[in-house]
Structure 1
Amino acid sequence: MSLSTTTVALIALGALAVAVLGGVFSVIGHLRLRRMRRAYERAFAGTDGDALVSTVARYVEETAGLRADIAAAQRRLTALSGDVARSLRHVAVVRYDAFGDMGGRLSFSAAILDDAGDGLVISAIHGRTETRTYAKGVRGGSSDQPLSPEEEQAIRFALRSVSAGPAAGSPPASEPRMVDAHG
């Protein structure tokens, strides 16, 4: 079996092309391996070659500490939310004339409640010669003692801030709501 010179030349040219491609891939592989080796040496540089391992271990410890801090902060936030709900922070004041012959709306009823509607209502009735002050306990938005219409109105306004929360343009819950009642 004899091959023609053209066929032999084509086979030789193909072998040369494969050899050149193999050489190019070999050089590329060698360069990549050298780059990876340098990165590996940098990562493990230091005493005993364990810089990467100790760095990762330190980050794992720091992450565990941060997670513990976050859990503690969440517990404190939950406790503070309960404290805020029990604080007397919903206030409404109703001013009125207790007696028809006096003006200036110097009498008032003030409701001071927490988120559950518990707290107190204070009323001051201003007369010509004296001012009388009354305080009544409030549980769940009502009292076991009879309430005047102005006291009921003050409680209603204070409870409105509990259910609605601060609306845009309205005073925050910590500021009293002032209402003038005509009476």
Structure 2
Amino acid sequence: MSILALVTAAGALVVSATAASRVPKRGGSGRTVDQLPRDTAALRREVAAWADAQTHTFRHLAVVRYDAFGDTGGALSWTLALADDTGSGVVITSIHGRNETRTYAKSVSGWSSEQTLTPEEERALAEARR
């Protein structure tokens, strides 16, 4: 189980790093208050750049837990939806059975996926969108 959590965390880290690489490199990070522009127009540009960069961070997330099979209990299967403000991100699903566990990742763009989503994945994506 801990190996699965490690693999899932590594996958989420890769997706986050990919999204972060799309964010334009603008001034602002690591600067002190004294280094910020003093005029209102420049401050407005700084805030706009920061807000634009936030568009590509995973701020929408939801987890749906469920029993994937009738012979297992405890809602050990789960789906995690992670998306930015544009609806781009990933849906990660882990299906737990009696003898094995399988994990799937599907890319999301514009709040939908080219791959067919399960009802649980659709639910997680819908909950993340709220």
Aligned residue number for residue 80 of structure 2? 110
Offset of residue 71 of structure 1: 2.1
Q: Displacement of 1:85 after TM fit?
A: 1.4
Is residue 144 from structure 1 mapped to residue 114 from structure 2 by the alignment? Answer: yes
Residue in structure 1 matched with residue 63 of structure 2 by the alignment: 93
* Identity in percent: 55
2-side partners of 1:69 and 1:88: how far apart?
31
Counterpart for residue 122 of structure 1? 92
More helix by proportion, 1 or 2?
1
- Structure 1 segments, 4+ long, off by >3 Å, are none
Deviation per CA, 1:69-103: give whole Å up to 9, x if none: 32222111001101111111100010000011100
Amino acid in structure 2 at the alignment position of 1:145: Q
Q: Aligned pair count?
A: 95
The structure having more radius of gyration, on CA atoms, is 1
Structure 1 residue 81 and structure 2 residue 51: aligned?
yes
Q: Where do 1:9-158 residues align within 5 Å?
A: 68-158=38-128
Structure with greater proportional strand content: 2
Q: Which runs of 5+ in 1 are unaligned?
A: 1-66, 161-183
Aligned CA-pair RMSD: 1.6
Give 1:131 deviation, angstroms: 1.1
Q: Distance in 2 between matches of 1:68 and 1:105?
A: 54
